[in-house]
Amino acid sequence: MKVMVIGGTGHVGTFMIPQLIEAGMDVVVVGSGKTPLPKDKVWQKIKYLVCDVSSYCELDKLADESSDVVVDMTGEVWNIYQKLKLVSKHVIACGSVWMFGEAKVVPMPEETQNPCPFEDYQKRYSEILNLVKLSRKDGVAFTAIMPPNICGPGKIPIDCLGGRSLDLHRDHARGKEVILPDGPDALIGPCDAQDIADCFVKAVLNRDKSAHQIFNVGSAYALTATELVGAYSEIYNVKIPIKRVPWNEYIANVSPDIGYWWHFKAHMCPDISKAKKLLGYQPQFTPEQTIRRAVEWMKINKMF
């Protein structure tokens, strides 16, 4: 089987490509050429195609690489679908559980919950829903996979302000006080990139079961904001104190960027039962394990 992975040198791709090679796939990785390929020997077995998929005039390059499956990790799938359906009968796109909007129920199923506050995610979610319908008419198997907070080795993990700041991790390691908003804690769902990659591979290998489906992917459970601070206390072997402030003060003075404070308002705890049932997905890592793996990666790379 031939698999094309657009954006395969990204965080999840660095775990997905070796799994596809191990499964005996013929793999073509499409990238901009800006990110160097990993030095692992397994990457010597792939074909690398430089193509800016955001530029329609370059998409003819994909036509020469007819594939059984195309995986798009870049979010460009709507723009390039008309080309992809000519070179593949199975298209898999990466989305985000944030696209569903603030959860009404937890764990959150693969359904619209509330309006998504992020314009780009709104647009991409609309495109995903349209492609689920359009692909049926075109005879193309379309699948979307929706991860929560992506974590694990290869990327700075979520910090206790909702970002990915190396400076804040240094503060956590020194036991500096963390400020959280008053009220009930939101659930935060760090999921290991290796587990997310595994779900994509399972969708590749199970076209019939994954066709026209939207799957959540994630850890077996999520952490409260307080538990996230506690997990970092254990990882860094320090006591990280918590200070609580009113919500309005928190978003005005502590964390005014919605991309950060949304983690502490909207639950990120996806229901992964469909992926388990149809694809046999089983996450290997707990949220605590995945952030520990990410911190160990930072230490190995002498980031602090």
Is 248 within a domain?
A: no
Is 263 within a domain?
A: no
Predicted model pTM: 0.96
Helix (H, G, I), strand (E, B) or coil at 233: helix
Q: Give the separation between CA 3 and CA 217, rounded to whole angstroms.
A: 21
Is 253 within a domain?
A: no
Is 300 within a domain?
A: no
Is 142 within a domain?
A: yes
Question: Which tens digit of pLDDT belongs to each residue from 212-236?
Answer: 999 999 999 999 999 999 999 999 9
Q: What range does the domain containing 24 cover?
A: 2-152+189-220+269-284
Angle between helices 225-236 and 166-173 (to 10 degrees): 70
Whether the Cβ atoms of residue 216 and residue 110 lie closer than 8 Å to each other:
yes
What value does the mean pLDDT of the chain take? Answer: 95
Is 250 within a domain?
A: no
Amino acid at 283: P
pLDDT at 58: 80
* pLDDT tops 90 at residue 55: no
Q: pLDDT band at 63, cuts 50/70/90?
A: confident
Element (H, E) at 278: helix 273-279
Question: Which tens digit of pLDDT belongs to each residue from 121-150?
Answer: 999 999 999 999 999 999 999 999 999 999
Q: Which of 60, 65, 94, 98 is nearest to 80 (CA)?
A: 60
- List beta partners, residue 215: 145
Top-confidence residue, 300 or 76: 300
pLDDT at 255: 96
Report the range out of 30-44, 47-61, 98-112 with the highest average pLDDT.
Answer: 98-112
Is 42 within a domain?
A: yes
Is 180 within a domain?
A: no
CATH at residue 82: 3.40.50.720
Alpha helices (H) along 34-118: 60-63, 77-87
- The number of folded domains in the chain is 1
